[in-house]
Structure 1
Amino acid sequence: MTTLAPPRPQRPVEGMARRGLAGIAAAGFSGAAGVVVTLLVARALGAASAGTFFAATAGFVLAGAVVRLGTQTGLVYWVARLRTQERTHLLGACLRIALIPVAAASVALAALLWFVAPAPLDSLALFLPLAAFSDAALAGTRGYRQLRPTLMLERLARPALQVLTIGALAVAAVSTPGPYAAAWVGPYLPVALLAGYALRRAYLSMPTPARRPGHKMYLALRAQFWRYTGPRSVASVAQLALQRVDVLLVAALGGLAAAAVYAVAGRFVVLGQLANQGISQSVQPRLAEALATGDRLTANHLYQIATGWLVLVTWPLYLMVITYAPVYLGLFGDEYQSGGPVVVVLASAMLVATGCGMVDMVLSMAGRTRWNLGNVTAALAVMVVLDLALIPPFGAVGAAIGLAAAVLVNNIAPLVQVGNALGIHPFGPGTVAAAGLAVTCFGVLPQIVAATAGTGPAAVTTAAALAFAGYGAGAWRMRHRLGLARSW
């Protein structure tokens, strides 16, 4: 594997830390809101009814991945590419090429689910076109390097509205899953309207092109767009299936109560994934531009800096939940305490995954969407096979083992591919520094406190205070190595 030194010019990362920090903060809010929703539903409905809610919302999110058709990656890639190559006269055509099929597919699938899906998924289907359009429109704005609409709408507004509406139902002591599902999906309506407005503003922010694409040029762009996006469409469904199908399999093979335990125990994984998205969304357009112009030095530099930040943000969470799994699960109620092994298995796998960085996105931005499809499909196959074999005898723990194996496949395989094909890798000085600092402060130190003082509230508070104090001081001392001092 070829090791590339960071490029001397720092312009490619100017402002990246500020945007990355904004993305992390917004992702943190979204993740916290998700935990609050899980907590409210788990306590208000009980394990069995909560399992119905989690299964229905998982089905809705999976259906949304199907009808987005991969445009959440394709639009960022092509809008950034057309802008960089000064082919802005094709931007309007690119947006139409992406959004019209998404609208048609989402309406068709929504109609099908309305007639065949069980309650409460059938009523959620009415909001499927809104969810698909909002995701595609926000992806388009990111292609214009406009991250604010995604942060404000997807990361802040929608989660906040979900907490408010579901919280109101919990206060009113509503005890059936249907109203909670409706409250969860309702915020997609205002978000979709505002996302469309944001995309229109982004499109109009650029000078009106002097020429319009002809029919042949339009057909050529459409073929190129879907040749790139088509494999990513299938891969995005498989990627989301890695996050959602296991809940459905546990519900089918182990019961709704086991599905609720699994969903609650693995909720912390979503926090890490949101942090990954928050960082990668700030880097994605710049990475696409660098790879579009063949600037692999800059691409490698961006990849390594972003990986260091991802480790810096997520490893404390994973290491702490490993040490204090019973404390974490106790927040949701005593009936979820059996999920301790699930927490340990998933957290261990996520340490490896985040250490590889946003490797699947790097592969996609390099145009290797077919490789990405192969990796995700293989990972999904591994998970399903292991789930079918392990859930009946081991329940939620079997599902955790299946997901952990899939996560490893889905990160190690593309890591080897980007190293061999592009000569880039995530293991820069910032990544190594962040990993060592996290293990020391949130791995070793809490284990020492737990061994000497136990896991009571006072001991947990003391360990957290010492860990964060040491972490903050260490990050400040190593800010240059972490790429934080020169990328604001």
Structure 2
Amino acid sequence: MSAVQGTELKQAARGGLVSIVGAGISAVMGFALTFVLARSFGESGSGVVLQTVAVFTISLGLARTGMDTAGVWILPRLVLTDRSKIRGATTALLVPTVIVGMVLALLLYFITPLVDTSSDGYGQQLVQAIQATSWFLPCGAVVMVALAATRGLGNIVPYTVIGSVGLPALRPILVLGVAAIGGTAVLASVAWAAPAALAMIVALFVLWRRIRAQERVHGIPGGWWPDKDTHAKIWKFSLPRWYSSGIEQSIIWFDVVLVGAIAGASAAGIYGAASRFVSAGLIISTAMRMVVSPQFSALLSEEKTARVQELYTTTVTWIVMLGVPIYGIFMFFSPTVMGWLGPGFEAGAPSLVVLCFGAIAFLIAGNVDALLMMSGRSGWMAFNKSVVLAINIAGNLILVPIWGIMGAAVSWAFSLLLDSFLASVETRIFLGIKFGFSRTAYAFFIAVCSVVPISLTVIHFIGRSTLGVFVAGVGAMVILGIWCWLDRRRLRLSELKVFSRKGNKPSNNTPVFD
């Protein structure tokens, strides 16, 4: 491995550690929110809030207009070529987001009552909650694009502090406050959405400071509007991504809405809670994607395929090795985990197991989606997401009436497997990036050996109790830590020694991603 490749891995590791810490806090806050909703509003009330979150998140995927990913793609390239274009490019990213966000907010407010066919009180609350939260949609979209732009300009910290820590921490606190004063699920939904307004102000301020820092390197401030070439590149990249982003969020969240429409608010509450637990295991993959996506873009623009291959394969092993044990604990102790939420939620335990299988398949593919996207092939990404969403919706419509929430879990798990497969094949064909089977299989073997024996032993002697979850979790972490230490060279974990930056500074021609 060359010195340059080592520097890239160290940058990925350093940023990954920061991002993982933030993603871990986000996951804990996500648990807290799910717990507060379940304990305070019950199955049906939490179902209203989670369905509202689903509609908001899907709409947010559209409101971003693909500009968040476009920022991560184009800004690292401008850092390499012409910093004077950064300010104009950022304006071109933010303006469409504001406009489309406002239009979608209006559409949600006026159209939602027209499509409501429910006759119960929870259906009416859902309509009111969607209408009330829709006004925060432009704020949420601007936050996502502004934070993505800071990532594209080489700093993962604002994304972590604001997006992974600040917003997730405020939400359960505010929802708990609503529950304490006896508020409804509608008010709880507003409490979940409202922090986006504050986050928007902070994110824009941080982004402005980052832009000025880059311009000082160039010595000349850029114009507020992009030239035609930059503008065209942004829209050419973002248009397919705009479509695929909405589809992508629909794959993640639309099943919660469908479950609510077909099986009722109570089923949506149980299934939505199970799916939120599963999202916690994706923190490793998400954290690494935040860091490596700009690096993929910069390296692919210079056609440095070998270095992309090494960066991709190494980070996949880290994702699998650190992420799979989380799902192993969830699978072995699913009745206990779902039981934490209160009476009735244990019914979601089998669904949680199936969802974990799908998430593990997604982890094994690594950040292959990011590779495909950063190569500029957003059209193929849009195609993949369209196929997967169509199959996901069809699966839900067929299986939920028969199997209930288990049908939704099976459909979602298969959708993730298909999505990863399509992206992996296309990345191999278009970019020549191979799936590192041997290294990934070894990482998976380490993860299985870390979690399976200790979990079976704990279940035998302690049982599936809360204490058992804690003992098995700690034991798996210890086993994994020891194995990683003993085999750190093969696993490239020596690259995690990045807190001393002496000698690891990139050249003047390499964007700094820290």
Q: Same fold (TM over 0.5)?
A: yes
Which position in structure 2 is the counterpart of 1:18? 14
Residues 154-173 of structure 1: matches in 2 within 5 Å?
154-172=163-181
Q: Are 2:261 and 1:252 equivalent residues in the alignment?
A: yes
Letter in 1 for 2:213: S
Structure 1 stretch displaced more, 33-42 or 306-315 = 306-315
SS across alignment from 1:178: helix
Which position in structure 2 is the counterpart of 1:184? 192
Q: Are 2:110 and 1:102 equivalent residues in the alignment?
A: no
Which position in structure 2 is the counterpart of 1:289? 298
Q: Are 2:311 and 1:302 equivalent residues in the alignment?
A: yes
User: Residue 71 and residue 34 in structure 1: after superposition, are their counterparts in 2 closer, same or farther (change >3 A)?
Assistant: same
* 1:61-103, Cα deviation, whole Å (9 max, x unpaired): 111111101111101100011112x122221221122211111
Q: Distance in 1 between matches of 2:473 and 2:73?
A: 40
Q: Are 2:423 and 1:414 equivalent residues in the alignment?
A: yes
Does the aligned pair in 1 maintain the 2:68–2:93 contact within 8 Å?
Answer: no
Q: Distance in 2 between matches of 1:375 and 1:352?
A: 16
Letter in 1 for 2:155: Q
- RMSD after superposition: 1.9
Query: What's the TM-score once normalised by structure 1's chain length?
Result: 0.94
Does the aligned pair in 2 maintain the 1:7–1:297 contact within 8 Å?
Answer: no
Which position in structure 1 is the counterpart of 2:56? 60
SS across alignment from 1:454: coil
Does the aligned pair in 1 maintain the 2:12–2:288 contact within 8 Å?
Answer: no
Gaps of 5+ in 2: 113-126, 499-514
Residues 385-464 of structure 1: matches in 2 within 5 Å?
385-427=394-436, 431-451=440-460, 453-464=462-473
How many residues align? The count is 480
Q: Are 2:79 and 1:75 equivalent residues in the alignment?
A: no
Q: Distance in 1 between matches of 2:473 and 2:280?
A: 18
Does the aligned pair in 2 maintain the 1:45–1:175 contact within 8 Å?
Answer: no
Does the aligned pair in 2 maintain the 1:67–1:106 contact within 8 Å?
Answer: yes
Which position in structure 2 is the counterpart of 1:87? 82
Deviation at 1:180, TM superposition (A): 0.7
Does the aligned pair in 2 maintain the 1:7–1:298 contact within 8 Å?
Answer: no
Pick one of 231, 238, 255 that aligns with 1:222: 231
Q: Distance in 1 between matches of 2:259 and 2:379?
A: 30
Does the aligned pair in 2 maintain the 1:307–1:426 contact within 8 Å?
Answer: no
Letter in 2 for 1:398: G
Letter in 2 for 1:358: N
User: Residue 179 and residue 485 in structure 1: after superposition, are their counterparts in 2 closer, same or farther (change >3 A)?
Assistant: same
Letter in 2 for 1:476: W
Which position in structure 1 is the counterpart of 2:109? 114
Q: Distance in 1 between matches of 2:349 and 2:105?
A: 37
Gaps of 5+ in 1: 1-5
Q: Distance in 2 between matches of 1:363 and 1:257?
A: 38
Deviation at 1:212, TM superposition (A): 6.0
Which position in structure 2 is the counterpart of 1:32? 28
Does the aligned pair in 2 maintain the 1:304–1:428 contact within 8 Å?
Answer: no
Q: Distance in 2 between matches of 1:265 and 1:385?
A: 21
Deviation at 1:200, TM superposition (A): 0.5
Does the aligned pair in 2 maintain the 1:433–1:478 contact within 8 Å?
Answer: no
Which position in structure 1 is the counterpart of 2:202? 194
Which position in structure 1 is the counterpart of 2:212? 204
